[in-house]
Amino acid sequence: MATRKTSKPTTKKTGRVKSTATQKPSKPIFRTGTWVTILVLAVVIAIAYYLNRNAETTAEAEITPTVEAQFVFDSTKIVKSIEVQPAEGQTIAIERNAENVWVLTQPDAVEADPALAEAAASQLSALRISDEVDGDPSIFGFDEPAYIITVTFDDGTSNTLEVGDSTPTNNGYYVRLDGQDMLIVSLNGIDSLTNLANFPPYLYTPTPTATATPLPTVTPVPAIEATPTP
């Protein structure tokens, strides 16, 4: 008996064509709102940095100590007398008398110009130290000082200031206080003091005394007698 083959029904696969989906438009990575946020954040960071830096600068300024000015003479003392002795020329000296009036004692004992004398005393009190120096005194001109300034105060104390050479930059003088401390002081301050020797602060310019010139003596001429002619 023949075996009958049973054929399996063939199943057709129906291919479906997938429709291509319509592509959606791409969105920007950063939106406008994001940029605004970043910008605001940058401004906030910048302000915070500025405020922090400003605070640090202010703190440093408060911590840094202020260097106080140093003066050659004690500014709390009242100047009683000033004597300027140049290496060449005459010595000039002024002082306050018992009536607290400035007078010259050298080279003449006369009344002094009060404005010029008081200006010199004020200049002494304001004579500021620019720097201190060390070394051989002869290097700075103290072997033969150009001027020796002696200052006496109302409490009876006195100081001597030797004026040496000018500095290499010509903006100050080397001075030695009481033969010990060598300092640098301002050019103008010393010049205003040494000018006392060149231009004494007379209240009135001394007028030279006029000397009368004697008239020449007339010598009488003897009379000549006439000789009669014969």
Closest CA to 96 of 105, 85, 107: 105
| Distances from the Cα of 139 to the Cα of 21, 144, 182, 183, 205, angstroms | 101, 11, 11, 13, 40
3-state secondary structure of 213: coil
What pLDDT is attached to residue 70?
85
The model carries a pTM of 0.60
Q: What is the mean pLDDT of the chain?
A: 77
What pLDDT is attached to residue 65?
45
Dist. CA 178–CA 175, nearest whole Å: 10
What pLDDT is attached to residue 224?
56
Quote the longest CA-to-CA distance of the chain: 236
Residue 140 has pLDDT above 50, yes or no: yes
Which pLDDT tens digit goes with each residue over 84-109? 999 988 999 999 998 999 999 998 89
- Write down the domain spans for the chain: 79-198
Residue 8 has pLDDT above 90, yes or no: no
Percent of the chain scoring above 70 in pLDDT: 67
- More confident site: 215 or 81: 81
Half-sphere exposure of 64 (CA within 13 A, CB side): 8
Average pLDDT score over residue span 195-219: 70
Token pair, residue 61, equals 């300024």
| Residue 181 host element (H or E) | strand 181-186
Average pLDDT score over residue span 110-129: 90
Residue 222 has pLDDT above 60, yes or no: no
Residue 43: pLDDT band (50, 70, 90) is confident
Which pLDDT tens digit goes with each residue over 145-203? 999 999 999 899 999 999 999 999 888 999 999 999 999 998 888 988 898 988 999 98
Which pLDDT tens digit goes with each residue over 124-138? 888 889 899 999 999
Axis crossing angle, helix 114-125 with helix 187-198, rounded to the nearest 10 = 150
